[in-house]
Each structure stands twice: as C-alpha cells, then as structure tokens.
Structure 1
C-alpha cells in the first residue's frame, strides 16, 4: 500500500524515487573520524541523550519529594524506573559525547537526504511508521529496554531540530483483517506513513501531500471508515426500530 502511494506521488507531483539504505549510504560517505558501521556508531546514543535528559529533568521533583516525605523515595511506573536507572548511570561526559555523535549524524542525514540535492529538486522522505498489529489497552506491553537511534521513528525528531517538517497521514487499511477481542467483529488496522520535507519548507510539504491525496481520490479529512459507517447505520436502524416498538407499546 505504501508503494501504491509512492507511485501516486511519482505520477501526480511528479517525482522520481530514490530508495535509500541509511546504513549503506553511511558506509560509503560517513564523516571523517567516524566508524563506517552506523549501528556501532549510534549504539549508546539514545541512552546517552534521551535517558540522561529524562532522568535529570526530574532531579528537582525527586529531591523535593524526598524532603517533603522524610527521605521516602517516590513510586513510579516500571518503565519510568527503567529509564531513570539508565539515565542515572550515564555520566555528563558520556552525555556530551552522545550529543556530539547525534549532531554529526543529524548533519549527515540532512546533507544526504534533504539539502544535498540538485537545484530545483524538492526532496521528500517517505517512512513507514510501524508494523500495524492489534495493541489492546488492557494488555500489558513490555517497554523495550534498548532502542537504536537508527530506528525510523527517531528520524523526524532528529531532523526537526534543524527545522525539517514532517507529517503523518493514514493512507488506507491493512489488507489482512483481524477479529477484535473487544468488538467481536472483523476490524482493519490503518496504514500510516510519515513524510519529511526540507527545512523551512512546511507549506510546500503540506501542498504536495494535499495534491496527492486530492488527485488520487484519497480523503484529506478524518472520517469514519466505510465499514464503520455501515455498522453505525445498522445500529441506528436497530435503535430506531426499538424506539418505535417502545412507543407503540406505550
């Protein structure tokens, strides 16, 4: 389905497609003084940056709570405690090293994907958001203990620091349905993509996305799916018939 949307972009904008492996591109053009293995280069940067900042952002709160409650430590959810433990183990020097590495990676991404293009070309980067699968709120989901900054979910926030806009849009449903344990009926999960544009080209990004959505017959506003419309219509008919029956009985 993502390939179909990209094909519409090619036809309607128009555009050309360049498939990019960030790992392979880094191996070929990594900055001087860095490892050619990107996974190795970024291995600890999430902990060094995010977990360190996440932990120390609550320093004052933890200290104030301890003073107010005679030294008693506060209770936090397990996933928060895990991140705090990771952040507490990171030194300031390690945090600074991770920040420097991320800045080098960010600048390389910017040059490789967005601004290092020929004049007159408006690059757009299309990313899958996640593998669509049922995720019930009443089921416990283990928080991952480790994440790589190479994960596609980190690309938009990394590049937002230099003004690169991005927009997430639903483009359809997963072709394989599933039976929901909540509704007890067949459901279809949405397919969502993230599109990034060149820094400070927010309007041009929105215009390009709007053009593809409108010209390809896709919706540009949120709405209940056709399947749900049919379900709600049936429910409304039943409700109307019940109300009529009650009225007659009275």
Structure 2
C-alpha cells in the first residue's frame, strides 16, 4: 500500500485511503481535495439529479460534509453530450470546480459520494473518530477497498495525542443487496477473531511477543466481510476471553470505559445460581409474521422441582444440582486449559519461562489441568443427559414454531458495581445458571435490556440509571424466530427496540421502568432518507450501467 494522507475538512479529521480507484482526465496537485463523485448520464436533468442526490448525503452519512460538494467529479458512460453536461455543471454555480473521468476508463463503477482527489486519482474518504472510551486495540483499513480481504492496522492518534483514531468509510460506498445484507454496517471484531494482516493480541503481552500478524482471517470474520460488513477495528476483550472484571483483574492491557451512568461502573452478569424462571408454552405462536399472544401461557418454573418430579434414570436418584455440580465448569476449564497447550509450550521453548496470565486465567487453567480425560468424558456425559432430559421435558424443537417453549430468566446484578472496588477472587460457577444454560443446551440466547433503575452514585454524587435486562432462550435452531419474537414483543408493548449511546440506555421517564418512548420520527426520517439515497444510487447505477461493475 502507498502512503496515507491526513487532513482536516470542516473541522473534522480525515484519512485518505492510499488506493487510487479512478483517474480523472485533468491534472491535479498532490494535495488531497475533497470532492463528490457523480456517475451520470448525459440527459438535461443530470445537474438536478446530482444536486438532489447531494442534498441527501448529509442526512445519512457522517463522513460527508459540505466542503466535499464544492468540487464535483462527474463520470459518464458516453462521450456524446458530455461537453454540454460539463458546461451545465460549471454554469450551475454550485461547484467551485468540475472534473471528469474519461468515458473510456476501464475501471469499474463507483457509487456516488464523498471522495478525495489526489494526484489525479479518486480515493475513498475515511472519517477519524477519537476512541475516548479506549474500546479498540487499533483501527483498520482494508488494503483493497473493492475486495477487502487483507487489512492494515492504523496507528493514528487524536489531535491531542491521547486517544487512538478509528477510521470509518462513508456509508454511501455500499448498497445493501440480497447477498450483502450487512453492506455498510460498521463493525469492530473482538480480538479473539483473526483478521488477515493484523496481529491478534488475546489481550496478552506474552501472546504478542510470541506471534506475528495473522496471514488468514477466521471463518467468522470472512463470513461477515462476505456479507458486506465494514470492519473498522479490533475491539478489546478480556485476556484469553476469560471472565475478568474491571479493573484490578485486567493486567496486561487496560479495560475500556463504561459510558453508562457515572463512567466508573463495570458490566458484570450475575453468577448466582438460578432456579426460578418463566416458561412460555408456544402453541401456534407465530401467525403470518405477527404474534398471537392469546396463544401464550405463562408458567412459573423451577429446574430443581421439575427434575425431582421426573428425573432421568441415568442420574441415579441424585438431585439436579448435585448431579450437575461439576459438569459444566470443570469440563469448560479442561477445554480452556488444553486449548492453549501449544501457546504455553511454544512460549516456554522460545523464552525459557512460563507466560504470564491473570489470576482469573490462571485459576481456570489450574482447574483444567487437574481434570483427567476420564473425568472430562464423565462430565460431558452428564451434560448430555441433562440436555436430553431438558429437550424431552422442558423445551424442544417444534416443526411449526421452531421452539415449543421459550425460557425467560433474569440476567445481571440488581446493584451497581464500581470499577475502583476490588473484585472477589476467581471462583467456580454452577451448571444451572444463566451463563451456562444456553451453551449446554446448544440453544440460542438473547440478552434484552428492557428497563433502567435509578441509584445514587458514590462517584458522581447524583442519581444515575442502571440498565436492567432479561434473557430469552429458545430451542436449538430457533435463532431467527427468537429475534423476531423479542422484537415484536417489544414493539407490541411500546418499548424501544434499540439502545442509545452515552449516559442513558433509554430516554428517562417517570414510570415503572424509568424508560420513555423513543420518537419514531427520528428513526423513520433516517430510514426514509436512507431508502431515498439508495434509490437515487440505483438510478445512477442504471444510468451508468455501461460501466464495468466492481464488487464493493
């Protein structure tokens, strides 16, 4: 890749991607110029079509700013009438300068939107956001924006030198299709997933010392990219994906800041044993895509009591909690320990010492290394017995509804946890808990924030809001149904289906859930504008259908 350029446009910092996508006919200098690229036909309405499109840019794209519209680069699929169109653009008074791409260019179609013109070449524009929450290890950009596969880590800092800068491309560069439903969706991948060209850190200094950049992306990452996702960086996680808590258990690298409330609390799911939940029996629950709530029966339910009524023969009369006491956590630790055998061996061979790990990771490794293969098989067999009993007696697949039952459980602690308070030492987990049930059952699970409760923060000295969540679990294979069910349930109740960034998860209101309604006008306006721009883009694509197509 060539060198990258940085500049400020309308008070916003930008990165110029080094890949030149198109060449214009006129000569320009080396200094990047913000421009709008406008693929057009040569009809009399071309100028009006272009202005209509530009007016929509600011509504849907945070990369675009007015200065981009001062210079236009137009591209036509035909020489015929091009000079007249150029004159109309220049005479419109809307542009300081107008350039054009040679109709004979062999390079493919590019969507209209904000770009940079540098040394006669068109380059994608990336807006730089300051990572003030310290959420990312680094930002990334693809080496080839038309066919992203390999990525380069971006080592840029904010203007004050305190924060990493994360580059994001224009939302206008991609249009969703049936094969790319995630087109334009910006995503940060957790650092446990490999991304070709960048280094996986596992949030561990010894891991960083031992391994170089990855030469292949994880299958999960490849799938996201194939579906159109825009990978903007690698986000932080706990070391080796362990259940570390802020901040004393984060040793090698510091944890991100929680923007909720007073900025000092930790997100921490409950670890206590759960025996009580709600069970919803689904009989013809989904009808023509809408919910038939009259068909739903709510049943308070206890794992322990249900097991006592109808225990599996394999349990030998043991109570549920005794039978499953070690099965989940000890088998997990066995896999967790041996999953890093090669890392420990390679590190010791190269550096002559054991790699440092946090107390939480060390505790799990110590448990796992003492589990024998025979014990592991016994634990796995117990989990299989529990899963079979649960599927046959509590919740199983259904040919029509996909899941004959939906489980709803509380999730999380009811009180705030401050990151300046010491955490309890690492310990074991019970099998029957909201964290383990889903993977044990091989079932989908949703964590759904639905309310917020006030508390007096010892840090800010004022009333803050703490999110309250529940969790829903369906039978294996009911993933999409579960999402649709949750979305329609929230909509039917008049609850928000998206959360805000910043201090509050939802708008604050004086009601039982302390949640206000979200104005649908703002969401509707955005969606309306997004559709309008995409329609205009498709119109321009049709008018430019003679261009060779590139996959964006």
Q: Residue 451 of structure 2 aligns with which residue?
A: 172
> What is the rounded CA distance, in whole Å, between the counterparts of 2:494 and 2:386 in structure 1?
38
Q: CA deviation at 1:129?
A: 0.9
Q: CA deviation at 1:183?
A: 2.9
Q: CA deviation at 1:62?
A: 0.7
Q: CA deviation at 1:17?
A: 0.8
**1:200/1:47 Cα in 2 relative to 1: closer, same or farther (>3 Å)?**
closer
Q: Residue 424 of structure 2 aligns with which residue?
A: 142
Alignment counterpart, residue 338 of structure 2, candidates 20, 43, 56: 56
Unaligned ranges ≥5, structure 1: 229-250
Q: Residue 129 of structure 1 aligns with which residue?
A: 411
Contact 2:328 2:436 in 1 (8 A): no
Alignment counterpart, residue 495 of structure 2, candidates 189, 194, 218: 218
> What is the rounded CA distance, in whole Å, between the counterparts of 1:124 and 1:219 in structure 2?
21
Q: CA deviation at 1:24?
A: 1.0
Q: CA deviation at 1:27?
A: 1.3
Q: CA deviation at 1:86?
A: 0.7
* TM-score with structure 2 setting the length: 0.37
Q: Residue 69 of structure 1 aligns with which residue?
A: 351
Aligned length: 218
Alignment counterpart, residue 468 of structure 2, candidates 191, 196, 200: 191
> What is the rounded CA distance, in whole Å, between the counterparts of 1:112 and 1:128 in structure 2?
22
Stretch of structure 1 that moved more, 133-142 or 187-196: 133-142
Contact 2:279 2:301 in 1 (8 A): no
* TM-score with structure 1 setting the length: 0.77
Contact 1:170 1:190 in 2 (8 A): yes
Q: Residue 86 of structure 1 aligns with which residue?
A: 367
> What is the rounded CA distance, in whole Å, between the counterparts of 1:86 and 1:214 in structure 2?
45
Task: Name the SS for the 2:336 alignment partner.
Answer: helix
Contact 1:26 1:36 in 2 (8 A): no
Contact 1:178 1:188 in 2 (8 A): yes
Q: CA deviation at 1:21?
A: 0.7
Q: Does 1:200 align with 2:481?
A: no
Where does structure 1 differ by over 4 angstroms across 4 or more consecutive aligned residues? 9-12, 116-121
Which structure would you say has the larger Rg? 2
Q: CA deviation at 1:118?
A: 11
Contact 1:47 1:86 in 2 (8 A): no
Q: Residue 386 of structure 2 aligns with which residue?
A: 105
Kindly report the root-mean-square deviation, in angstroms, between the aligned alpha carbons of the 2 structures: 2.9
Contact 1:180 1:187 in 2 (8 A): yes
Q: CA deviation at 1:6?
A: 9.5
More strand by share: 2
Contact 2:446 2:472 in 1 (8 A): yes
Q: Residue 32 of structure 1 aligns with which residue?
A: 313
More helix by share: 1
Q: CA deviation at 1:23?
A: 0.6
